[in-house]
Chain A
Amino acid sequence: MERGLSMKRFLLLALLLACCSVSQAEIRRLVMVTATPELAEIRLSPRDIRKLYLGRAIIRNDRRLIPLINRSDPLLYQIFLQKSVLMSSNSYERFLLAKVFRSGGSRPQRYDSLQQLIQALLHRPHTVSYMWAVNARDEPRLRIITEIWRGNIR
């Protein structure tokens, strides 16, 4: 009887600890967003997103999408590069530089401030970018196009 009770106590304690650890880990969603109304319903596959950020033309509704780089959060940027671009930060920077040097054009504009990024999305038609879903929900004029990644961050 006493042994059974101590086992129950042990299991309850373990459950409690597990719940605590799950609540400490935050589930986050990384999403592609736009503020251009006609782009709200477009579909972008992971491959499209990669091509877009590697400088290839992605056309939706007869217009070329303009990618903006969000570097306001180093962790977000690293996850985006790992999941979408499949390159490290250094390799990506070097790739963009080499591509422009070889064939011309320009690199996607980078933003170190989330507010500036949101302003750019709001004021420049056909721009798209990526951010945490929680940040996208804070600005009602932003539309989530697709989810790039979902996971726990401790």
Chain B
Amino acid sequence: MYEHFRPTVQRLGGASAWRHASVLLLLVLMVNSPPVSAVPKGEFLVFPNINTISRKDELTLNGQKILPQEHTDPSVDFFFSRDFERLRVIAEFFTSSSDDHGAHFERLQLGWRLPRNMNLWGGRFHNPLGYWNTQYHHGSYLETAITRPGTVAYESSGGILPMHLAGLLLEGSVTRGEAMFGYDLAVGLGPGLSGAALEELNILNPDSRSEPVLTLRLNYSPLEDGPTQYGLSFSRGTIPDNLGGDIRQETMGAHANWETGRLRLLGALYTIRNEITGSDDRSFASGYLQAEWALALRWTLFSRLEDSRGEKDDGFLARIPLFVRARQLGGIRFELTDRQALKLEFSNTRYLGHHSEAVRFQWSAVFP
């Protein structure tokens, strides 16, 4: 079943490297150009991090090492944003030493700010599915934990849902008293299934087959711009399979982030239905619950439980061996400075037919 397994590597090289470099250079020139007025209209942020992981055993699949026992992975995420009157540009470029990620634009989007708190975006953006994928991305410093929940893992890291889309995104909010209702509607091309992992659409080199995905997200915050929020998501799309055939996927989810004093709880539950061409459709549920406790000004304890139900018979999941079916993790975060953090995380993870115990350590930061 796994003879087609290959990591979805997007390395810089040849024409692709020049294309990436020229776009990055353009962005740097834009952010460094003299501003129209003295008021800043742009940001350039750098999120470096170094991850080290130590597993009890390495994970092999058909003789191939898919998760090594020891691994260190430095990476840098560059973020740029700038406003030109009503036009807004966002670019996020990620580069990593890991073969799973390589170097590529995570986000490259152009937005038009409309009246009534509405924004219309075009380009490559985060699929507004649930909480995690709209709050965080490669800026590890902003995440309390080191790892993302398996359900919302990146496409190339055992993810099963489209985390990136290339197309159009309409987002907005309406306030009623103290409360805020938010909405996101996205239509775009999603990932394809290539070997044993999903492969994101690379908009600068769109040679892979992609099909449209539609996502709707509704959100409610009792206090406008407050941290507590509850929401629902719905997504429907087709994932083309490079072996032939398609997977029609439908996802419904509920998410919540609740904060009071030192305690924070966040979680999401999804029901996912996959229908592989020529076979019956299968549904399963997958979700996570994370608790965070601020011990003192600089220390935060965190713990997360992830689980799936009914996933064993899903033919699509059987193609993705790195999908995290269940995980228990706990860890601690220390704020080294105002802009740097150290994290330590212990986890017990269940994959398809394997399980892995691991210790992760991460230094992460944001500059300036």
Which residues in A have some Cβ–Cβ distance to B below 8 Å?
Answer: 50-51, 54-57, 66, 90, 93-95, 97-98, 100-107, 109, 120, 123-124, 127
Contacts and interface: CB of A to CB of B under 8 A. Distances in A.
Contacts of A106: 40-43, 81, 83
A93 B335 CA distance: 13
A72 to B, nearest CB: 18
A100 B81 contact: yes
Contact of A66 (B39, B90, B135, B366): B39
27 contacts: A50-B225, A51-B224, A51-B225, A54-B225, A55-B225, A57-B117, A95-B225, A97-B366, A98-B142, A100-B43, A101-B45, A101-B139, A101-B142, A102-B135, A103-B90, A104-B81, A104-B82, A104-B111, A105-B81, A105-B83, A106-B41, A106-B42, A106-B43, A106-B81, A109-B39, A109-B40, A124-B38
A104 B88 contact: yes
Contacts of A98: 135, 142
B134 interface: yes
Interface in B131-185: 134-135, 137, 139, 142, 171
Contacts of A50: 225
B297 interface: yes
B39 A124 contact: yes
Nearest to B119: A103
Interface in B293-321: 297
B79 interface: yes
Interface of B: 37-43, 45, 79, 81-83, 88-90, 111, 117, 119, 134-135, 137, 139, 142, 171, 224-225, 227, 297, 335, 338, 366
Contact of A93 (B43, B224, B338): B338
Contacts of A123: 38
Given A100-B45, A100-B81, A124-B39, 19 more contacts: A51-B224, A54-B225, A56-B225, A57-B117, A90-B297, A94-B142, A95-B227, A97-B142, A97-B366, A100-B43, A101-B79, A103-B119, A103-B171, A104-B111, A105-B43, A105-B88, A123-B38, A124-B38, A127-B39
The 10 closest A-B pairs by CB, nearest first: A104-B81, A104-B90, A54-B225, A104-B88, A106-B43, A106-B40, A100-B43, A101-B139, A98-B142, A66-B39
Contacts of B45: 97, 100-101
A120 B42 CA distance: 18
Contacts of B83: 104-106
Contacts of A95: 225, 227
A71 to B, nearest CB: 12
Contacts of A101: 45, 79, 137, 139, 142
B89 A104 contact: yes
A54 B38 CA distance: 21
A94 B90 CA distance: 19
A94 B264 CA distance: 15
